[in-house]
A and B are shown apart, each in its own frame.
Chain A
């Protein structure tokens, strides 16, 4: 039953997305809401989000396929598949965001390795290839020693690319809000958390996990959420204490201003505190839809967290009066995603949902027999 609902939701999301994809391909970036002041919008946040899930899933897969932790037995292959599906969505998000996606080949042929974006392109490419090889090996020849070698190499690359998008932002000394050493580390923990959340969604809604496995996943997710909250507290409190306007203004917008509902409501309460409370209860150790729902809440909280790191930093005047010195497309400090951007986001979500389901049905034993029958 869960699976049928998921198929329908995925299909609807993709259908909406097709209109967004058409709009993007036919009219370029013209119908997107980002501009020349807020230069990176929803699609970049989704790139960080889906890319983070992909890397997180791979790291979780390594606990099974590389370190053979008994409590996580059987999570490796579904986690690798989830990594590849989310990576596809993440790369599609950033591909649609850039003005000339057909020129991405230049990042391979003529890269500037000082650039965080070039590092990301190469990092994610190597990561994706290793994840694909690891999955093929894990499915076809699970006993082959090559699985562990590829997983070990992949783990090193995954640890790098988990923080790489954070480094891409942290490199940017122009935006004080991003230019903090803890941003890449925070992104690593975001990735680990969303990887765990994705496994909770898969396991919680579609079963095939014993109580012990759920206990490990539930408690791990809860601990990672606490660490994420710690990062938020550390970053915001020290930034506010520094009292530099370029840093304080975006944080005030998040804590008390236009983003306060998203921050307190979605990121903190629904995306962290509620899952922590629920997942640490003994009664959900056996899994179930409630655990899956908590996984979804964590993912939702995380995408909001990425958005709230990305957008407010760009809504700071670089020079007094710059945003009003000229009028026209993209000259505004305000940003709200356009219909096209939302439609594309919906399409990417549809790709992920359907990708997980189709992959699970055709390639991997993501579902238990009893739930398939259900």
Chain B
């Protein structure tokens, strides 16, 4: 069979399956095992339940990990945008870019997408080089930045093997917008929204070019402020393909534990020995 014929065969079969599916309702016919938890509920519900369970434990007994299923990622950048919105990231600051790579030659071409949050390395090169202990592992093992301690030397950025830190140069998206007094649109309203960051559970309006986090290195922190309130990281809840999973790897029954203990799981630059807490399913 030619490639074209094979493709046609595959898709016509799927269209046919879609047409007959309503007829088969109630006949208990399923492609997936009946006890597969993914069939019964959205994984977000399961992860939320597991998150609340983990929060009942002492912080030091949790081991937050993120798992990204590259087979499911469609490169929509929703996670990038959600992260920017959640953390009110200014221009030039990004915590979770999605790298795109075109592979192959026509006609066998495809695209690879690789979301890259902070790897939250257990042996993190970035924390070692900080001269003032402004970046460190918190009690849950997440690498955090103390904005009031950071001197902005960018040594952590030079040291990170994953390029997971960006520098805040003090720009804002709203600074170029026209202002309409009393209106719900325009520069003032946009600025108020943009200045309402709650990162690390701290209100940090952006005042001028010199107040932190301006002049600091910034990075993904797995949305600690959301986790504290029992919510999953913004990138996880926003992923339309359910390609991002989050949870406690110290919980032997959690979804992430199931996923990371499979043979098709890798970590980026594992040979460096940084022990990332972000896993990729390939």
Contact = CB atoms under 8 A, between A and B. Distances in A.
Given A29-B152, A99-B150, A321-B101, 20 more contacts: A27-B209, A30-B209, A36-B93, A36-B163, A36-B166, A39-B154, A98-B153, A100-B150, A103-B132, A115-B130, A172-B129, A175-B158, A314-B158, A318-B160, A318-B162, A319-B116, A325-B94, A325-B116, A328-B92, A329-B91
Contacts of A172: 125, 129, 158-159
B259 to A, nearest CB: 22
Size category, B interface: 35 or more
Interface in B156-182: 157-163, 165-171
B166 A321 contact: no
A98 B272 CA distance: 28
A319 B99 contact: yes
Contacts of B214: 28, 99
Interface in A104-130: 104, 106-107, 110-112, 114-118, 121
Contact of B216 (A100, A118, A173, A319): A100
A99 B215 contact: yes
B62 to A, nearest CB: 25
Contact of A100 (B80, B101, B125, B151): B151
A326 B155 contact: no
Contact of A111 (B132, B210, B216): B132
Given A39-B157, A100-B152, A174-B161, A107 B132 contact: yes
Contacts of B101: 320-321
Contacts of A101: 151
Interface in B72-129: 80, 91-94, 97-101, 114, 116, 125, 128-129
A322 interface: yes
B131 interface: yes
Contacts of A314: 158
Interface of B: 80, 91-94, 97-101, 114, 116, 125, 128-134, 149-155, 157-163, 165-171, 209-210, 212, 214-217, 268, 272
Given A35-B167, A39-B154, A111 B131 contact: yes
A50 B98 CA distance: 40
18 contacts: A29-B152, A39-B167, A103-B132, A104-B151, A107-B131, A112-B130, A112-B132, A114-B129, A115-B129, A117-B129, A117-B153, A168-B155, A173-B272, A174-B158, A320-B99, A321-B114, A324-B100, A330-B167
Nearest to B155: A117
Contact of B212 (A30, A100, A111): A100
Contacts of B216: 99-100
A36 B91 contact: no
A64 interface: no
A331 interface: yes
Contacts of B215: 28-29, 99-100
Residue in B93, B150, B160, B167 whose Cβ sees the most chain A Cβ within 10 Å = B167
Given A99-B216, A172-B159, A319 B125 contact: no
A115 to B, nearest CB: 4
A212 to B, nearest CB: 45
Contacts of A99: 150-154, 167-168, 214-217
Contacts of A29: 152, 167, 169-170, 215
A39 to B, nearest CB: 4
B149 A110 contact: yes
A35 B130 CA distance: 18
A103 B130 CA distance: 13
Nearest to B153: A98
B158 to A, nearest CB: 5
A331 B92 contact: yes
B171 A118 contact: no
A110 B100 contact: no
Given A172-B159, A174-B160, A174-B161, A30 B171 contact: yes
Residue in B93, B169, B171, B212 whose Cβ sees the most chain A Cβ within 10 Å = B169
Tell me the interface secondary structure of chain B in the complex.
loop
Interface of A: 26-30, 35-37, 39-40, 97-101, 103-104, 106-107, 110-112, 114-118, 121, 168, 171-175, 314, 318-322, 324-326, 328-331
B129 A330 contact: no
A98 B160 CA distance: 18
Contacts of B132: 103, 106-107, 110-112, 118
A12 to B, nearest CB: 28
A329 B172 CA distance: 11
Contacts of A30: 169-171, 209
Contacts of A26: 209
Contact of A318 (B80, B163, B209, B210): B163
A100 B21 CA distance: 63
A322 B151 contact: no
Closest 10 CB pairs of A and B: A99-B152, A99-B215, A329-B92, A325-B97, A321-B99, A118-B131, A117-B131, A28-B209, A36-B166, A328-B92
B5 to A, nearest CB: 34
Nearest to A122: B131
Nearest to A329: B92
Contacts of A104: 151
Nearest to B212: A100
Contacts of B212: 100
B159 to A, nearest CB: 5
Contacts of B159: 172, 174
